[in-house]
Chain A
């Protein structure tokens, strides 16, 4: 049921949902056969312990305060965190863009017209890009600005700051994928995604509140045991042997995958999720690098085999620690460059964000795999038979690669070369829509959040995919190429949930797999042949 939530209601009716959203409220899909199910019900026991008062699901599983005193302490901690967020010392990393975005928004709502979550939700007010930004602005004005409490009584924008406000704001920070689409169309250059990430950061760095998948099972685990996937250095070495065996089966010759080779030109770092979910992707990288005679290596050191850096989504401190570790490893191995695998946020952290964190002696060049592959292909270093990719291929542009990192043409040039039936989605390139799994949504599994992610956050992407292939025979084999692990994970869930993958013969893949599949040398199809 659609509910027009005004900002001031955010602090009212604790425990009651601010929004009751059902499938009927959502943006319609072009194909009536696409299935949508209601969000997973929260059990009574869960409801007693955790706060679902935003929209009935939870990314954070926040426990309600035990008594009024605890509630007051949390409110005070929040205000302390907000002061630090606005400070040039505690938050030099983003204080300027945050201050600008808070001060100069004209509330013209241009951002709302392109936000995939707001549009997919059937334009629910609480998902409007400026809803959470405006809430933060009003809290700042009333509680931190000079005379704010007095002035807000007359200006009609007073917000009561209580536990309910804080809990709902914390959850709201996890209803935006930080895709940057809103900022791209903002006439003022205001970035609501950046404000959202800053809210996440406030909660993490001051109150210790973050999704368990990001923090305890994410960055903390990565720093302690080497990877958020749980892969240890020993397990990683076993995985490499397994990959060598698989490659031999597929191309008929054994490739040695170099690990910890000092003095190699390139240190290749994959998102470790690839080793578990899609080993054919790092295997394809190995085939390409071996075929062109590159001097390269993987690393089995802690963190060296996992490019992910979940800090990018919620915490500057964790992000800085991990990016430093990656650079230290490259220095230790004496490589000339770090080659980043198909992982969008790793690209953004290692190349853009990390650039101003890393000290100069650790500022080792980092390059994107798409540009790297394009260079190989343009120099005819690989022999192709593009007819081997005789299926329809479209490209999903990962936000972190395209809009946020500016890598736009290399992936297109590759696909045009190796996939004769490549077709673009609309819109595409820097104007793409997020897959809905961005900013870590694809790995948050708890408290009904997965259903929300697929039903709401990913709805625009599934609509785009359907529209891209709507003029084709359902029997024809089709692929969505997504050169990003996080996006692939989301596409896997979307295609399965909406029952589109099997019915319309649509699958997903990375870009390295398509390159190797088209190579003359590859005897057995690299991509599994579907029924």
Chain B
């Protein structure tokens, strides 16, 4: 019972913290443009250039969501930037992250399986062929995820502790974070071995979480695993490992933000309000100004 409550609390805390962080960043003021080219959403100019190359200043750019998705997919599933510019790290960071993605996929498959069980679909010996395939796929995804995750995690710990260029910048909390994830993954592997095939008990467990039905009896390794995973969910929002969220904002709100300001737009309205923000910088040339509006209208119109 208490384990189930811990799982609920950790999931709620993680989702709540993620949403809170997303709201915090989305509510920050519109900033001055500091985009970097090429920009993935510029139609026909995904690899170089921009609408600013055109002489017409009246039209805004043509936005390609497909261009963005292609870029994000390459970056997410291939780690292109790291591959081309920092191959030595890629050998570890890539399997580590892909391992985590696969484990998330495994959880989704287990969740789907649990829902099917709730709706009466049989996963036992007499299950139909498509259910069996789903079961084998999730087995493969899970075990591959754990193996890649452990390999990458160990590699990153070794890299950070042995390679001088990482060691200097790696703090206690970085090691702690990696060791924490390693502990969760290692425990997952132990569970896999002790419960083989883990899928069945995982689905049962997921079903009890969805239906809030305590009573499922777990062995020590799975109980420890669930506690560790819950604690990890409590811990993650306090670390830079939330970069999956940060990355959305750095790309969409900074690096790719080349939206031009036009009269009467929402962007213009927001910026007008921001000019009324008070400022309190103390240097002699900044001190006379009380708002940003005073700064920009400091000089008289030329007559």
Within 8 A of A (CB), among B59-111: 75, 79, 81-82, 84-86, 89, 93
Interface string of B270-294 (1 = CB under 8 A from A): 0110100111111111100100100
Task: Answer whether residue A408 sits at the interface, using C-beta atoms and an 8 A cutoff.
Answer: yes
Q: Which of A207, A301, A367 contacts B302 (CB 8 A)?
A: A301
- Does A398 count as interface, using CB distance less than 8 angstroms? no
CB distance from A375 to the nearest CB of B (A): 5
Q: How far is the CA of A223 from the CA of B298 in the complex (A)?
A: 11
A: number of interface residues (CB 8 Å): 97
Q: A466: CB under 8 A from chain B?
A: no
A430 at the interface (CB under 8 A from B): yes
The reply to whether A329 and B32 form a contact with Cβ atoms under 8 Å apart is no
Quick one: closest A residue to B24, CB to CB? A99
CA distance A149 to B79 in the complex (A): 36
Highest count of chain A CB atoms <10 Å: which of B34, B39, B253, B286: B34
Closest Cβ of chain B to A446, distance in Å, is 20
Cα of A479 to Cα of B292 in the assembled complex, Å: 45
CB nearest to B57 among chain A residues: A365
Minimal beta-carbon separation of B101 from chain A (angstroms):
15
Q: Is A509 an interface residue (CB 8 A)?
A: no
Query: For the complex, is B2 an interface residue (Cβ under 8 Å from A)?
Result: no
Q: Which of A26-34, A186-194, A387-395, A495-503 contacts B (4 or more CB under 8 A)?
A: A186-194
Min CB gap B110→A, angstroms: 29
A523 within 8 A of B: no
Q: Are B32 and A90 in contact (CB under 8 A)?
A: no
Identify which of A43-51, A52-60, A313-321, A456-464 touches chain B: A313-321
Stretch at the interface among B164-172, B202-210, B215-223: B164-172
Provide the A384-414 mask, 1 if CB < 8 A to any CB of B, else 0.
0000000000000000001111111110000
Are A325 and B250 touching (Cβ within 8 A)?
no
Residue of B nearest to A107 (CB): B169
- Least CB distance, B163 to chain A, in whole angstroms: 9
Binding stretch for chain B, among A232-240, A281-289, A348-356: A348-356
Q: A191-214 vs B: 1/0 string, CB under 8 Å?
A: 100100000000011111000000
Knowing A92-B31, A94-B34, A185-B85 are in contact, say whether A99-B261 is a contact too (CB < 8 A).
Answer: no
B54 cross-chain contacts in A, Cβ below 8 A: 371
B52 and A405 within 8 A (CB) = yes
Q: A104-B243, A109-B86, A183-B255 are in contact. Are A92 and B37 (CB under 8 A)?
A: no
Which A residue sits closest to B163, measured CB to CB?
A109
Chain B 242-277 interface mask (CB, 8 Å, partner A; 1/0): 110011011101110010110100011001101001
- Assembled-state Cα–Cα distance A104/B82 (Å): 16
| B35, B82, B260, B292: the one within 8 Å of A92 (CB) | B292
Residues of B within 8 A of A359 (CB): 272, 296
Provide the A211-235 mask, 1 if CB < 8 A to any CB of B, else 0: 0000100001001000000000000
Alpha-carbon separation in the docked complex, A107 to B170 (Å): 8
Main secondary structure of the interface of B (DSSP, over half): loop
Q: Which residues of A contact B93 (CB under 8 A)?
A: 108
Tell whether, in the assembled complex, residue A352 and residue B89 are in contact, meaning their CB atoms are under 8 Å apart.
no
Cα distance A350–B85 in the bound complex, in angstroms: 32
A110-B85, A363-B261, A403-B37 known; A96+B279 contact, CB < 8 A: no
How many angstroms from the CA of A234 to the CA of B211 in the assembled complex? Answer: 84
Q: How many whole Å from B62's CB to the nearest CB in chain A? A: 14
Q: Across the interface, which residues of B come within 8 angstroms of A128, CB to CB?
A: 165
Answer whether A187 and B277 are a contact pair too, CB < 8 Å, given A320-B295, A324-B297, A325-B299.
no
Q: Is the CB of A408 within 8 A of B81?
A: no
B193 at the interface (CB under 8 A from A): no
CB–CB A113/B86 < 8 A: yes
The number of A-B residue pairs with CB atoms under 8 Å apart is 257
Q: Check B28 against A99 for contact (C-beta < 8 Å).
A: yes
Query: A406 touching B52 by the CB < 8 A rule?
Result: yes
**B250 touching A100, Cβ below 8 Å:** yes
From A150-158, A269-277, A481-489, the one touching the partner chain is: A150-158
Separation of A431 and B102 alpha carbons in the complex (Å): 33
**B81 contacts which of A93, A187, A318, A337 (Cβ < 8 Å)?**
A187
Q: Which of B33, B79, B251 contacts A356 (CB 8 A)?
A: B33
Asked, given contacts A103-B246, A189-B254, whether A357 binds B285 with beta carbons under 8 Å apart, the answer is no
Interface contact A94-B32, CB-CB below 8 Å = yes
- B36 contact set on A, CB distance < 8 A: 180, 183-184, 191, 403-404
**C-beta contact mask, A418-441 vs B, less than 8 Å → 1, else 0?**
000000000001100000000000
A259 within 8 A of B: no
- Within the assembled complex, what's the spacing in Å between the Cα atoms of A368 and B253? 25
Q: Are B280 and A328 in contact (CB under 8 A)?
A: no
Q: Which residues of A contact B173 (CB under 8 A)?
A: 155, 157
B171 touches which one: A156, A188, A357, A360 (CB < 8 A)?
A156
Does A69 count as interface, using CB distance less than 8 angstroms? no
Q: Which of B171, B278, B289 contacts A89 (CB 8 A)?
A: B278
Q: Are B302 and A408 neighbours in the complex by a CB distance under 8 Å?
A: no
Q: Judging by beta carbons under 8 Å apart, are A355 and B260 in contact?
A: yes
A-chain residues with CB within 8 Å of residue B48 when the two chains form the complex: 406, 408-409, 429-430
Known: A80-B282, A220-B285. A157 touches B295 (CB 8 A): no
Q: Is B25 located at the chain interface by the 8 A CB criterion?
A: yes
B301 within 8 A of A: yes
Assuming A107-B174, A356-B267, what are 11 further A-B pairs, CB within 8 angstroms? A92-B274, A94-B34, A96-B28, A155-B173, A156-B171, A191-B36, A318-B285, A320-B296, A328-B301, A367-B57, A406-B45
Contact residues of A with B, CB < 8 Å?
A: 4, 6-7, 77, 80-81, 84, 88-90, 92-97, 99-101, 103-110, 112-114, 125, 128, 130, 134, 154-157, 180, 183-191, 194, 204-208, 215, 220, 223, 301, 315-318, 320-321, 324-325, 328-329, 332, 337, 351-353, 355-357, 359-360, 363, 365-368, 371-372, 375, 402-410, 429-430
Report, nearest first, the 6 A-B pairs whose CB atoms are least far apart.
A406-B50, A189-B250, A104-B246, A406-B37, A365-B57, A92-B29
B interface list, Cβ under 8 A from A: 25, 28-39, 45, 48-55, 57-58, 75, 79, 81-82, 84-86, 89, 93, 164-166, 168-174, 240, 242-243, 246-247, 249-251, 253-255, 258, 260-261, 263, 267-268, 271-272, 274, 277-286, 289, 292, 295-299, 301-302
* Chain A to chain B contacts (Cβ below 8 Å), 19 pairs: A7-B169, A81-B282, A84-B281, A90-B281, A97-B250, A103-B240, A107-B166, A156-B172, A185-B81, A186-B81, A301-B302, A320-B296, A324-B296, A353-B33, A355-B261, A356-B267, A359-B296, A407-B53, A408-B38
